């Protein structure tokens, strides 16, 4: 069981390895690396391994020969991660699936020899970005989104970013097979001269060229998510996605009534949502007394943020605006965040912790950081009514003990948002979680690579209580940070890549499933079979 894989650099921890190799160690890990698509041995593959509890520490590495074989000897009993990489094959763990992998169990009676390590070849997306006159567009931001069900239900999340070069070329390499989307954001070359300053007659004059812009565009030329076309990649495939961006007249967005800017300066910015990512266009407000203007804004729906700075600190207010032409808005139209709150026991979380709201039905997802004092707020005021699961992430799993709210209805670890009503959340993090361990089998034999899912009672309102793992080479698994409560455990043989939450729920409801009651700070053991 190896969760949320973190790959280390190619550093060999010599001292650690020497200490491991002493003291009568007698076990080994051996096998062959092959291509997952052709089955052919992969010569020259770099294979490395380390302790499963220390995924960032490499104990030893080697290169496979012509037969693709590898062998690590003089090992103590325990569990080890195994990784491989080759030209055209990104670094992968043994039996890796969506951020999970199987550790190799080494001990008496456990088979750690003759392993078949299947590496999946890389896919890639490349393309050239041109304007409507066939000229290259350099320095454009290109975002790659991936659509999958790794969270249990379908989501589209940003995966990587790239920048076009001077010839307009961009590339995304080292990709898994799957369903992808592309979004492009750029500025016309002449906008850099928009604020050309001319000296004359003792005054500074500003000359603005025509307000023109490239709207944020999705492949193959769409301006909304529904019209975007997915790029379906198979293993080892290269897909060419050339794009032409059309320049369009742009608008000005002005905010007035900002007050005395010398005492409390206000910064204004615009954000546009694409899937679950907020683009912040490379546009700055131009202050002029109590007025501030953003130029070069393509038409569309935006979240306008006003950040005010004073001796008392910083504050933000927001407004959702539809830009169809030059737009003016009074500061009074902006309001504080519609959803805000506090995590009551903030000190139990790491510094970089965040809150997530997720509507599994609509796919809307919102993230925001938790401040040092536990306060948080969601900037977007365009949250649609619905039921949202609440997550607090300070590590791998969310572990919420209880939620209370004003302006919303709380059911388990979900909140029902009614619309424009301001919502205040109070969240308490559970500090007494447990660990569930066990062995999964298929046809009476312990089986590696199975998806293990812990399904809570009232699962519809407790998505944040689901736990997952992948069985190791000896069939064992460990589910960490489990909240107290009653659960069913299911083992899925072909759940990877599917909407596993629905699949696990169906299995738990339709057939006999292992049930377990978890008490605070316990470590129950169980056995399960593939359903």
Tens-digit pLDDT profile for residues 150-164 = 877 788 989 999 999
pLDDT band of residue 525 (cuts 50, 70, 90) is very high
What local confidence, expressed as pLDDT, does residue 297 receive? 87
Q: Assess whether pLDDT exceeds 70 at residue 195.
A: no
What local confidence, expressed as pLDDT, does residue 202 receive? 39
pLDDT band of residue 380 (cuts 50, 70, 90) is low
What local confidence, expressed as pLDDT, does residue 14 receive? 39
pLDDT band of residue 418 (cuts 50, 70, 90) is confident
CA-based end-to-end distance of the chain: 20
pLDDT band of residue 168 (cuts 50, 70, 90) is very high
What local confidence, expressed as pLDDT, does residue 170 receive? 98
Tens-digit pLDDT profile for residues 434-457 = 999 999 999 889 999 999 999 998
Average the pLDDT over 378-389 and give the result.
Answer: 75
pLDDT band of residue 21 (cuts 50, 70, 90) is very low
pLDDT band of residue 426 (cuts 50, 70, 90) is very high
The pairing of beta strand 365-369 with beta strand 354-358: antiparallel
Q: Which of 258-262, 313-317, 464-468 has the highest mean pLDDT?
A: 464-468
CB atoms closer than 10 angstroms to residue 356? 17
Could you give phi then psi for residue 56, rounded to 5 degrees?
Answer: -100, 0
Tens-digit pLDDT profile for residues 85-121 = 999 999 999 999 988 999 999 999 999 999 999 999 9
Half-sphere exposure of 111 (CA within 13 A, CB side): 9
Helix (H, G, I), strand (E, B) or coil at 425: strand
- Per-residue tokens: 121: 């070849």
Tens-digit pLDDT profile for residues 334-363 = 776 678 899 998 888 888 899 999 887 777
Closest Cα partner for 381 from 510, 273, 482, 287? Answer: 273
Q: CB within 8 A of 68, min separation 6: which ones?
A: 32, 33, 34, 41, 42, 43, 45
Q: Assess whether pLDDT exceeds 80 at residue 283.
A: no
Q: Assess whether pLDDT exceeds 50 at residue 12.
A: no
Average the pLDDT over 272-298 and give the result.
Answer: 73
What local confidence, expressed as pLDDT, does residue 339 receive? 86
What residue ranges define each of the domains in the chain, with the CATH number in brackets? Answer: 2-119 (2.60.40.10), 123-248 (2.60.40.10), 250-333 (2.60.40.1120), 339-429 (2.60.40), 434-529 (2.60.40.10)
Q: Assess whether pLDDT exceeds 80 at residue 511.
A: no
pLDDT band of residue 493 (cuts 50, 70, 90) is confident
pLDDT band of residue 20 (cuts 50, 70, 90) is very low
Which of 173-182, 203-212, 335-344, 428-437 comes out lowest in average pLDDT? 203-212
Mean pLDDT of the chain: 85
How far from 391 is each of 16, 462, 467, 506, CA to CA, in Å?
Answer: 37, 10, 13, 23
* Bigger pLDDT: 269 vs 54: 54
Tens-digit pLDDT profile for residues 296-315 = 888 888 888 877 776 666 66
Which of 66-80, 133-147, 412-426, 435-449 comes out lowest in average pLDDT? 412-426
Q: Assess whether pLDDT exceeds 50 at residue 407.
A: yes
The residue written with tokens 């977007």 in the block is 380
- Per-residue tokens: 455: 């399904």
Which of 122-131, 280-289, 418-427, 496-505 comes out lowest in average pLDDT? 280-289
Q: Assess whether pLDDT exceeds 50 at residue 7.
A: no
Alpha-carbon distance 307 to 296, whole Å?
20
Specify the pTM. 0.83
Peptide bond between residue 242 and the one before it cis (omega within 30 degrees of 0): no
What local confidence, expressed as pLDDT, does residue 208 receive? 47
Q: Assess whether pLDDT exceeds 80 at residue 419.
A: no
């Amino acid at each position: 069981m190896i969760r949320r894989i973190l790959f280390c650099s190619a550093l060999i921890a010599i001292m650690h390895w020497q200490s491991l190799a002493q003291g009568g160690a007698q076990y080994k890990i051996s096998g062959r690396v092959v291509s997952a698509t052709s089955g052919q041995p992969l010569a020259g593959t770099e294979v490395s391994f380390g302790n499963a509890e220390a995924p960032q520490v490499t104990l030893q590495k080697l290169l496979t020969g012509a037969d693709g074989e590898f062998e690590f000897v003089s090992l103590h009993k325990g569990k080890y991660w195994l990784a491989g990489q080759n030209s055209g094959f990104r670094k992968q763990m043994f039996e890796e699936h969506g951020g999970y992998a199987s550790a190799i169990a080494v001990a008496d009676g456990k088979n750690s020899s003759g392993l078949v390590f299947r590496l999946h070849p890389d896919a890639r997306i490349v393309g050239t970005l041109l304007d409507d006159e066939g000229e290259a567009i350099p320095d454009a931001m290109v975002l790659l989104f991936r659509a999958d069900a790794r969270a249990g239900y379908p989501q589209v999340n940003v995966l990587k970013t790239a920048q076009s070069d001077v010839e307009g070329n961009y590339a995304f390499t080292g990709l898994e097979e799957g369903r992808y989307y592309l979004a492009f954001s750029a500025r016309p070359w002449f906008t850099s001269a928009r604020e050309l300053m001319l000296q004359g007659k003792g005054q500074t004059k500003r000359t603005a060229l025509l307000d023109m812009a490239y709207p944020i565009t999705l492949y193959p030329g769409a301006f909304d998510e529904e019209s975007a076309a997915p790029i379906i990649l198979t293993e080892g495939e290269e897909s060419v996605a050339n794009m032409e961006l059309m320049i369009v007249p742009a608008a000005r967005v002005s905010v007035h009534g900002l007050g005395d800017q010398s005492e409390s300066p206000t910064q204004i910015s615009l954000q546009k949502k694409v899937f679950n990512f907020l683009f912040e266009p490379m546009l700055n407000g131009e202050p002029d007394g109590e007025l501030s203007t953003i130029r070069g804004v393509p038409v569309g729906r935006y979240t306008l943020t006003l950040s005010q700075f004073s001796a008392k600190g910083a504050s933000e207010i927001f407004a959702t605006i539809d830009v169809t032409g030059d737009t003016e808005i009074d500061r009074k139209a902006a309001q504080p965040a519609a959803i805000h709150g506090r995590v009551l026991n903030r000190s139990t979380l790491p510094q970089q912790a965040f809150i997530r709201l997720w509507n599994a039905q609509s796919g809307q997802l919102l993230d925001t950081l938790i401040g040092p004092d536990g306060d948080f707020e969601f900037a977007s005021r365009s949250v649609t009514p619905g039921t949202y699961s609440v997550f607090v992430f300070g590590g791998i799993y969310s572990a919420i003990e209880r939620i209370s709210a004003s302006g919303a209805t709380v059911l388990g670890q979900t909140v029902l948002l009614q619309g424009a009503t301001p919502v205040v959340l109070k969240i308490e993090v559970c500090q007494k979680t447990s660990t569930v361990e066990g062995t999964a089998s298929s046809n009476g034999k312990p089986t590696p690579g199975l998806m293990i899912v812990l399904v809570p009672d009232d699962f519809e309102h407790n998505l944040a209580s689901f736990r997952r793992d992948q069985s190791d080479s000896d069939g064992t698994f460990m589910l960490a940070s489990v909240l107290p409560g009653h659960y069913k455990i299911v083992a899925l043989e072909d759940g990877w890549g599917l909407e596993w939450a629905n699949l696990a729920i169906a299995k738990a409801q339709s057939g006999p499933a292992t049930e377990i009651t978890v008490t605070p700070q316990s470590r129950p053991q169980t056995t399960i079979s593939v359903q």
